[in-house]
Amino acid sequence: MLSVNSLNEIQQMILVIIGVLVFASTLFWIMRKIKPGPQVDELVLRTKSWWIMAGIFITAALVHPGISFVAFGFLSFAALRELSSISKNARIEDRSVIFWAYLAIPVQYYIAYMGWFAPFLIFIPVFMFTWIPFLLVLKGHTQDIARSMSVIPTHLMLTVFSISHLAYLLSLPELPGFEVGGRGLLLYVVFLTEMNDVFQFTWGKLLGRRKIIEKISPNKTWEGFIGGLLSTVAAAYFLRFLTPFSAEIALLAGLLIACSGFVGDIIVSAIKRDFGLKDTGNAIKGHGGILDRIDSLAISSPFFFYFVYLLYYVR
């Protein structure tokens, strides 16, 4: 049960998130009226998707933990389904094996819910990493089997194992003097990761000149990346009341989230470019699929989780 103080801090964070979204929505609406164009339309669409994602994670932070874990499980299911559906050259023999990948979702999230750290670490990276290739071998069809052995476990790692770290934050034991707990940490990493995307996109549109990886993501620029990184580090410092972090640790956390979120974004961008797609799906009207919205979180979540775990939970 959350204390009054910790509940107030979470409410403050929610007000910050809603305030930022209201400000962004109003600003982009005015810009659209004054000077319409494709860049402003893109900002408006992104803001609509941010409202949806903010609603999902705010709800997860406030409701009963059991409901939150179920919600995260469905999020992973939707992302895995998108990624599996767009994969090229999927073999008929892979279909029943992919079913096992879906079965891994409730197992992984139940382990996270129970707070079993060792099984959480090894179930997908060790057990499923071995079990899926073994099932493929039992099918007796070796053509393109090496690709399937690598692709299906990678899908699991990207959409299930990585995102389940967000849920596990809610299972972390309480720390002395840190009453907000996992809910605060969850809002912290999600908000900063999403805002890092916003900051990088905005700074890139304003100042972007020099491309970073033009063949993978032509809109990514050094100016956007650096501007987003500095903005995210500043936000991490001011929002540290949701964490057990000192000022210095908060700055490091912001740096880690900004860099790892950028990596997640370009990894999924490379996958989409390989498949010849702009989006992984159309679950969020006007701005792609679920994986399009959580691509940065797929990498920032585990990095942030182990950053916190190693600093505060390893004795």
pTM of the full structure:
0.88
pLDDT bin (cut points 50, 70, 90) of residue 3 is: low
What pLDDT, in 10s, does the model give residues 196-217? 988 888 888 788 889 998 888 8
For the ranges 138-147, 222-231, 286-295, which has the lowest average pLDDT? 286-295
What pLDDT, in 10s, does the model give residues 40-62? 676 777 677 777 777 777 777 77
Mean pLDDT of 114-126: 96
**278: helix, strand or coil:** coil
* Averaged pLDDT score across all residues of the chain: 87
CA distance 120 to 8: 31
CA angle (133, 138, 143) in 5-degree steps: 70
pLDDT of residue 155: 93
The answer to whether residue 241 scores a pLDDT higher than 80 is yes
Give the domain range for residue 297: 4-312
DSSP bridge pairs for 211: 221
Q: How many structural domains does the chain have?
A: 1
Q: Which of the 8 DSSP states describes residue 221?
A: B
Q: Which of the 8 DSSP states describes residue 174?
A: P
Buried residues in 184-220 as b, exposed as e (16+ CB within 10 A): bbbbbbbbbbbbbbbbbbbbbbeebeebbeeebbeeb
Structure-block tokens of residue 146: 């090496």
| Cα-based distances in Å from 257 to 18, 92, 202, 246, 296 | 21, 39, 17, 16, 9
The answer to whether residue 39 scores a pLDDT higher than 70 is no
With the C-alpha atoms ordered 63, 67, 69, 74, is the resulting torsion angle positive or negative? negative
